[in-house]
Amino acid sequence: MPGTFGMVNTSASALRYHQAVMEVASGNIANVSTDGYARRRVVGQSVGAPAQTAMWSRYDGNGDGVRVGSVDRMVDPLLDSRARREHGTQSYLDARSGALGRVEASLGEPAGKGISSALADVRKAWQDLANNPDSTATRGQVLTMSRTLVDAVAGQRRNIEAEEGDQRASLLADLGETNTLAHDLAAANEAISAARLSGNDPSGLLDRRDQMALRLSELTGGTAVENTQGGLDVTVGGVALVTGNKAGALSVTAGVNPDGTADGLPLALAVTPPGGSATAVTGLRGEVGGTAELLRTTLPALKEDLQAVAQQVADAVNTAHQAGFDPTGAAGGAFFAVDPTDPNGPLVLLVTDPAAIAASGIGGGPNRDGGNADAISSALAGPEQGYQQFVTGLGNEVASVRRLSATQQNLTDQVDGAREQLSGVNLDEEMVTMMQSQRAYEAAARVMSTLDSVLDTLINRTGAR
């Protein structure tokens, strides 16, 4: 609209636009520390000539001002997708690193009072018995140190089983959180679709959507893809968990009872997609994937390795002990047994009477020989080496997982930094925006004041004497 009154509309549009800019900048500043908030930016749109020209006239104006074209969230969908993937891998490695680190700490090696120390004490007790085979007290010391070794092995197995119990409880908690987030994300998807249809600003809902999708990736390593309505569809292990406004469920189908105890079966997970049937999934990432691998492979393998050490101890001692004779000249029997089902096992002490210890290498009657006790002491060198290999193997695995976690953390931090640079609120930048809009608002107001003076002169003073 050309002419004086057209300038009123132009300056009024400037006032409205720059007021909107200051309101959005104010909202950014208010949410500077809000988790998941993506800063907003007002995109202006120039109001020019009419798109449809008149039949018998032409537009002779110079522009009709400005209007708010859109309020954009400063996000990059590709960067968000990358962040979800990296966070899923980071959570997977952190879950493994934390659990294996606790198991390693429970060993008490090399300076603690663990199995290595107990093995050394047993060897020393057998050496003392070799030097003093007719001492009842020394024989009792052999049994005492042997019981200490049995307790040390049992204690380490209990530590691993305790970690398994903690991981089962953590898995159930993570599954519960995953399913809750899936339903919340489906509800957010529906709200986003409704907001877009009604013309309302869905920015707050989109922030919540992205935050929930990121947490789902941290839990399951799931992949999120934006649908045509603006929501996110999530797949876990290649199976749909969230589709539009409908959510499925991730559940454990074997290996863990609802109360967190083990059911004796290998761990199995399944995703029930919206409106579908349960589909088994493997190879998950995130916290659930890391916990599943610990329960399915890593921790059971550690228990088997520990049982193998106990078997080495039993075989070495039993072979040497059965080759010797007790003080009466009777042949020695089995000294240890291995029983994985024994609550105090897997290593079990069979000899409880000091007089039944076959310390002698000479049979056929009462004697004071201690040669076989020395042989048993020497035979324990093999199990000690086997246990050192067990400790070294665990240490190498822990170190490897920690290195992977640290390397992944660098990559995750890099992606998070890029997202923060784009989406995070910079107070200095918002202050500059506020000042620019303030000056523009003042200038538009000055134009309005000038027009008021011009119109006053035109209407009230033209022709006046």
Contacts of 187 (CB under 8 A, 6+ apart): 245
| Residue 368: per-residue pLDDT | 73
pLDDT in tens, 284-334: 999 999 999 999 999 999 999 999 999 999 999 999 999 999 888 889 999
* CA angle in degrees (0–180, nearest 5) for 276-278-282: 130
pTM of the model: 0.88
- pLDDT, average across residues 46-67: 67
| Residue 4: per-residue pLDDT | 58
Cβ–Cβ < 8 Å for 432, 439 = no
Mean of pLDDT over the chain: 91
- Is pLDDT at 60 greater than 60 in this prediction? no
| Alpha-carbon gap, residue 72 to 161, rounded angstroms | 52
Contacts of 359 (CB under 8 A, 6+ apart): 129, 130, 133, 139, 324, 326, 327, 369, 370, 372, 373
The tokens describing 36, both together, are: 């998941």
Report the percent of the chain where pLDDT is more than 90: 77
- Give residue limits of the domains in the chain: 1-53+60-73, 80-90+168-297, 107-158+299-396
- pLDDT, average across residues 149-168: 95
| Residue 8: per-residue pLDDT | 78
pLDDT in tens, 271-286: 999 989 999 999 999 9
List the single range of 3-7, 39-43, 231-235 with lowest mean pLDDT: 3-7
In a 10 Å sphere around its CB, with 0-12 CB exposed, 13-18 middle and 19+ buried, how is residue 368 labelled?
exposed
